[in-house]
Chain A
Amino acid sequence: MSENKVKLSRRNFLLAVGAGGAASAAAMVAKTVPQEQPVAIEGDKKSTKGYHASAHIRNYYRTAKV
């Protein structure tokens, strides 16, 4: 009986190690995948809060049509 318990605890230990390893591998993959993709980060000099057709700009276009 006690021998069975020991065997079970060893299995549990191995299962825990395996699950932990898989979880850490998944975490590493999840961490690396977004870095590989181009992400629009704040402060990226190419992405600006620039042009938007404001009332001021629409008024300019209207006057340029004259």
Chain B
Amino acid sequence: MTKQLTAAERLERMLAIVPWVAARPGGVTLSELSDRFQLTPTQLEECLRIVWMVGVHPYTPDALIDLTLESDHVEIRLPDYFAKPLRLTVAQAFALVAAGRSVLSTPDADPDGPLARGLDKLAAALGSDRSSVVEVELGEHSTQVAALQHAVAERRQLEIDYYTYGRDQLATRRIDPWTVQSVDGFWYVKAFCHNADAVRTFRVDRIRDIRDLETIFVPGQQSPRIESFRPTDDDPEITLDLAPSARWVVTQYPIRSTETLVDGRLRVTLAVSATQWLERLLVRLGPDAEIVSTDPSLASCRSDAARRILRRYLK
């Protein structure tokens, strides 16, 4: 059952374990090591059986790692070359700091708690005198987020007034909120929606009002992770030529393909999951976007939207 580790995976683990054990002169138990460093007892023993043969030329007893392994107890005394663990890679340090700063940015975080203290010490070990080398804002709307998190924890059914941006529609829904998460900078709540009789994901900044229905719901069985929005293959397409000043579209919308034209413009094909967001995009881009080809259902989208808005100005 135990997964076989590669030689490099064993090396990485042992370069952390050996100094950690050596720093504890009385030794430690194998079960503590196996919990702390995420190895099965078998994997751990396989490694340790080899470590006691490791050392430097001429490999006489005094040049080897001095390791004693007796039943569940291990002790290491060693020459000083393995006295300290290996530094973190930059990518590892970034993953840890970014995750930690994210949690610290949430409304409930304790700015003086163990996480904050741990991040300060970590920053110092990474050679920085400031722990604020990374700042994360998972999303705004902290009041609603706190209310929703509370409802998730207490399994309280809610009624929300929700604005569907894509369809430009405001409607009231009854939901069982399962989880609240931030994905790519926005807060979402994943819930069972009684109006749709299905699981739905709602963007928290489009929830206009939240009312507690004083009812406890039974949680459903679903993956807890909220994934980023991805258009489906059935969505109609539109192809635009974008002026250089409109290149930002590429980083903000689901792009099917891009091609740089000889005149410096960018030809992009977008999948359109709802007409209203395309309307918004096109009226904002104006002359910076030229429609090259489009699904017939989207053909009059830009002029319809422009005319609708103009009605407010030309009355």
User: Do chains A and B stick together as partners?
Assistant: no
Tell me the B residues contacting A by CB distance below 8 Å.
none
